[in-house]
Chain A
Amino acid sequence: MSFFENLKMAFSSIAANKMRSLLTMLGIIIGISAVITITTLGTTLRATVKGALDSLGTNLFYVYLTEKNVDNYYDSYDIETTPEDLISMSMLEELIAKYPDEIRIAEENPIGSGTLRNTEKKDVPVNIVGAYDGTLDYNGCKILAGRNITMEDVTRKKYTCVVSHIFVKQYFKNGENPIGHVISINMENGAAYEFTIVGVYRYNTLVNGAGPNGTDEMKTPIYIPNTIALQLQGNYYFDGFWGIPLTFNVKYDANDVKAHIQNFFDEKYASNKNFTIGVNSAMDELKTIDMVINVITIIVSVIAAISLIVGGVGVMNIMLVSVTERTREIGVRKALGAKKRAIKRQFVTEAIIICLIGGIIGILIGLLNGELIGIVANMIIKSEPSYSEILGNVTIQPSFGAIIISLIFSMLTGVFFGLYPASKAAKMNPIDALRYD
């Protein structure tokens, strides 16, 4: 007898007992829907967090000075550092020269505030921040027009700057093109310096903080090359960094970049008695989230496994009842020439179909739960603009792996718990079965 005939037979007998079949499936439905709900949440949470980290710069490493033989970065202040221990600018330049397309410096150095007088003779307040080629990226600021600060700006000490789109609104009341415009920044100490605007970035309220006032009074950063910022601070003899954030071009693999950085500094600090360099990445955060999600998934899977077992026992119970109820039918089928194998297959198929339908209903409920949670999450995010800027719209992402595994497991449950009732049916003596009433 063909597989298809078996399926038809199974469906007709399940259809003959709809309510009973549905109740039998309940355990499986609950187990599978729980797994799908949680795995959907897990994959969605991961994707959302990764998206947020990406927009903040997952391509970020923090390189820091640490004592040799000390694990914890916070414990490493026991030994006095000398200027020779610090991460020098020349080291960084060497690193970048070694990996020119790959690594960029994300350090920022706020040196205070200043004002600019616009055409309407109003003062626009700004924060002046020393930057490198990776700083804006690190702050999650996308370049809207023009270009970023480059290492050339930094090493050649060019008076260039990148301003926010809010600043453009505040300063250029006539809508001129800001790129190439020379602006004069009045420092707190009364001095004024002229900078050429080379780029405009999108001000990110969640990262940079929302101004308490309306757009006109809002104080946004102007990024200038850090070498100039240091000069403006009067810091001509800069020793080096205790720690410095680096970003990298996303087309490179994070682990490779991390290894490049670590190897570079390991070599540099090989002869240093007390200190070495540690490298931390934002991706490490994602690893923590992965771990949490995995733990939750495992717990829910265990619960689901239990409910699958309970559900499976329910299926077995119902199948035993069904076999007894249909003793006569089994006898007739045997009298008409059904082999043991055919009878066994008939009942196993029925158990599998019950479990599979339960599994599919469970998956659908799980997906529905995911969608509902997505709707609620998006409502919450929309009510808080600073969240939506970073998180955007949460798109629910079901875990296809979990769906496939759920289907396989519900099938296996059917096979496992259907086998005993089915072989009981197959073993029936046709004469006794025919006499049964």
Chain B
Amino acid sequence: MSNIIKRYYIGQPNELQILNGISLTVHEGEFVAIVGASGSGKSTLMNMIGALDKPTEGSYLLNGVDVSKLSDKQLSEIRNKEIGFVFQTFNLISRTNALKNVEMPMLYAGVSRKERSKRAMELLEMVEMEDRYTHKPNELSGGQKQRVAIARAMANDPSIILADEPTGALDSKTGRMVMDIFHKLHKKEGKTVVLITHSPELASETERIITISDGSIISDTGYKGNAPAKEVSAE
């Protein structure tokens, strides 16, 4: 990801530049924390990494593919297969139960019914929510919801898990549990995890801390891993 600039209200008097030329490489299997004050542009950056949004300027390669040149349909496919989002407010579909929520990304990927529910159950087991699979989101606590959301993020076995303040709405105890799951995903499954957080303690658990202020990177503890087998995003 190089020299990313994001502007809003382009060409209007109230034009805003949120990201001022961010260059960043995240390697496969890395556990990265992005920290910074509220409004500093963390979420905007995450949307960019997650192919939810395209940069106004600059280029972004994901597994070697230039995301800024992709069509809307192709972006949807990337989000579906390569990215797993975990939101601060969980964003589960309230009408349907935990299992169906976990199945949803697979639904859009065209996975067969049988395979879908089998995989969803496995994922719920991984986050220790298998006995709650029939429960609807409003019958679950915040921590439980977030665990279901993490299971959902893992549905199509994505390259990157993007978590935007996943513990922001949780108390410290359940937040701890959620963090443990991320560690597990990172260590056991070898997932690349990008964690956005306010909390310096949580950030310190990760391999690399990137600090953002006013749309620019002000510090980066750097890549600590071995030589990258394959880059998830590259300059």
Chain A residues at the B interface, C-beta cutoff of 8 Å: 1, 5, 12-13, 16, 328-329, 331-340, 342, 430-431, 434
C-alpha spacing A358/B50, complex, angstroms: 41
- Checking B79, B87, B91 against A337 with a beta-carbon cut-off of 8 angstroms, the contacting residue is B79
Whether A338 and B108, one on each chain, are in contact in the complex, defined by CB atoms closer than 8 angstroms, is yes
Whether A336 and B152, one on each chain, are in contact in the complex, defined by CB atoms closer than 8 angstroms, is yes
- Checking A332, A334, A431 against B76 with a beta-carbon cut-off of 8 angstroms, the contacting residue is A334
Chain B residue with minimal CB distance to A430? B52
B81 at the interface (CB under 8 A from A): yes
C-alpha spacing A328/B90, complex, angstroms: 11
- Checking B76, B85, B152 against A338 with a beta-carbon cut-off of 8 angstroms, the contacting residue is B76
Chain B residue with minimal CB distance to A337? B80
Chain A residue with minimal CB distance to B107? A1
- Checking B73, B91, B95 against A339 with a beta-carbon cut-off of 8 angstroms, the contacting residue is B73
Residues of B87-117 whose CB lies within 8 A of A: 87, 91-93, 95-96, 104-105, 107-110
Chain B nearest Cβ from A73, distance in angstroms: 72
The 4 closest A-B pairs by CB, nearest first: A337-B80, A339-B76, A332-B91, A337-B108
The count of residues in chain B whose C-beta lies closer than 8 Å to any C-beta of chain A is 26
Whether B104 and A336, one on each chain, are in contact in the complex, defined by CB atoms closer than 8 angstroms, is yes
B53 at the interface (CB under 8 A from A): yes
- Checking A16, A331, A338 against B95 with a beta-carbon cut-off of 8 angstroms, the contacting residue is A16
Whether A336 and B95, one on each chain, are in contact in the complex, defined by CB atoms closer than 8 angstroms, is no
C-alpha spacing A1/B105, complex, angstroms: 10
Given the known inter-chain contacts A431-B52, A434-B87, please indicate yes or no for A337 contacting B105, CB distance below 8 A.
yes
Whether B156 and A337, one on each chain, are in contact in the complex, defined by CB atoms closer than 8 angstroms, is yes
C-alpha spacing A4/B208, complex, angstroms: 45
Whether A332 and B93, one on each chain, are in contact in the complex, defined by CB atoms closer than 8 angstroms, is yes
Chain A nearest Cβ from B54, distance in angstroms: 11
Interface string of B63-92 (1 = CB under 8 A from A): 000000000110011011100010100011
Chain B nearest Cβ from A70, distance in angstroms: 76
B47 at the interface (CB under 8 A from A): yes
- Checking A1, A5, A336 against B79 with a beta-carbon cut-off of 8 angstroms, the contacting residue is A336
Whether A328 and B91, one on each chain, are in contact in the complex, defined by CB atoms closer than 8 angstroms, is yes
For B95, B96, B110, B156, the residue with the greatest tally of chain A CB atoms inside 10 Å of its CB is B95
Chain B nearest Cβ from A39, distance in angstroms: 38
- Checking A328, A332, A337 against B81 with a beta-carbon cut-off of 8 angstroms, the contacting residue is A337
C-alpha spacing A120/B103, complex, angstroms: 94
Provide the residues of chain A in CB contact with B52, threshold 8 Å: 334-335, 430-431, 434
Provide the residues of chain A in CB contact with B79, threshold 8 Å: 334-337
Chain A residue with minimal CB distance to B87? A434
Given the known inter-chain contacts A12-B96, A431-B52, A434-B91, please indicate yes or no for A336 contacting B85, CB distance below 8 A.
yes
Whether A337 and B95, one on each chain, are in contact in the complex, defined by CB atoms closer than 8 angstroms, is no
C-alpha spacing A178/B73, complex, angstroms: 91
Interface string of B2-21 (1 = CB under 8 A from A): 00000000000000000000
C-alpha spacing A434/B53, complex, angstroms: 12
Chain A nearest Cβ from B73, distance in angstroms: 5
For A331, A333, A335, the residue with the greatest tally of chain B CB atoms inside 10 Å of its CB is A335
Residues of B1-58 whose CB lies within 8 A of A: 47, 50, 52-53
Whether B104 and A335, one on each chain, are in contact in the complex, defined by CB atoms closer than 8 angstroms, is no
C-alpha spacing A342/B80, complex, angstroms: 13
Given the known inter-chain contacts A342-B108, A431-B53, please indicate yes or no for A337 contacting B72, CB distance below 8 A.
no
C-alpha spacing A16/B95, complex, angstroms: 7
